[in-house]
Amino acid sequence: MLARLIAFLLLCPASAFAAEWWSYDNTGFGYAIELPSDFHLSAPSEDTNRLSLSPADRSAVLQVFGTALAKGDFVEEANVRVALARDQGWKISYAKSNSRGASFSGTKQGRIVYVRGVALCNGGAAFFEMDYAKADMQRYDAIVMRLVRSLRPTKKCTPTAQVVKSFPETG
């Protein structure tokens, strides 16, 4: 599915994306997100579960990807990603997470990073990460907010079946 999308994006003229935003639906992981039409694939990735997009002037990088959670714990995954960002030198100024979603943002050397993730069924998660210059904050803040609102699971999770034993009544 992703290979067909990449081929389509690389071969279609820009006029095919006249709409302001387009929807990306990853059926394998079960999530969808709306993407700005002026962002295009910046480089093909060997990771078939990751899109790397940028506007023509390359002033921002948007990564969109699905991942399997190592321990199936979304909150732990979110905390690990925040810690990793700190280890990479990002000064985290905002972080919030619960069992369904997580967001954090930070700054480093005149740049801003914003990361949003949502829990998916069967121990998966979908994330986007956007990195852009602080000088472009006004240009990109509305885009980030729309990305946040649009990233969502597309599959309903079914609760794990519980085994209930019935014992005969004794009189």
Give me 95's structure tokens.
């972080």
| Residues 49, 72: Cα–Cα separation, whole Å | 18
Find where tokens 């069967």 sit.
122
Which of 10-24, 47-61, 78-92, 98-112 bottoms out in mean pLDDT, i.e. has the lowest? 10-24
**The CATH number of domain 2-7+17-153, selected from 3.60.70.12, 3.40.1000.10, 3.40.50.300, 3.90.190.20:** 3.40.1000.10
Which backbone phi and psi does 163 adopt, to 5 degrees? Answer: -90, 125
| Residues 129, 126: Cα–Cα separation, whole Å | 10
Counting other chains too, the contacts that 39-43 makes at CB distance below 8 Å and 24 or more residues apart are 40/9, 40/14, 41/6, 41/9, 41/10
Average pLDDT of every residue of the chain: 84
The domain locations on the chain are 2-7+17-153
Helix (H, G, I), strand (E, B) or coil at 44: coil
pLDDT tens per residue across span 112-147: 999 999 999 888 999 999 999 999 999 999 999 999
Average pLDDT, integer, range 69-90? 92
Q: Which percentage of the chain shows pLDDT scores above 70? A: 80
pLDDT tens per residue across span 20-42: 899 999 999 999 999 999 999 88
What is the model's pLDDT at position 16? 36
What is the model's pLDDT at position 121? 86
Which backbone phi and psi does 100 adopt, to 5 degrees? Answer: -105, -25
**CA geometry: angle 39, 44, 49, nearest 5 deg:** 90
Per the CB < 8 A criterion, the answer to whether 20 and 13 are in contact is: no
Radius of gyration for the alpha carbons in the chain, expressed in angstroms and rounded: 19
What is the model's pLDDT at position 9? 44
Sign (positive/negative) of CA torsion 73, 46, 30, 130?
Answer: positive
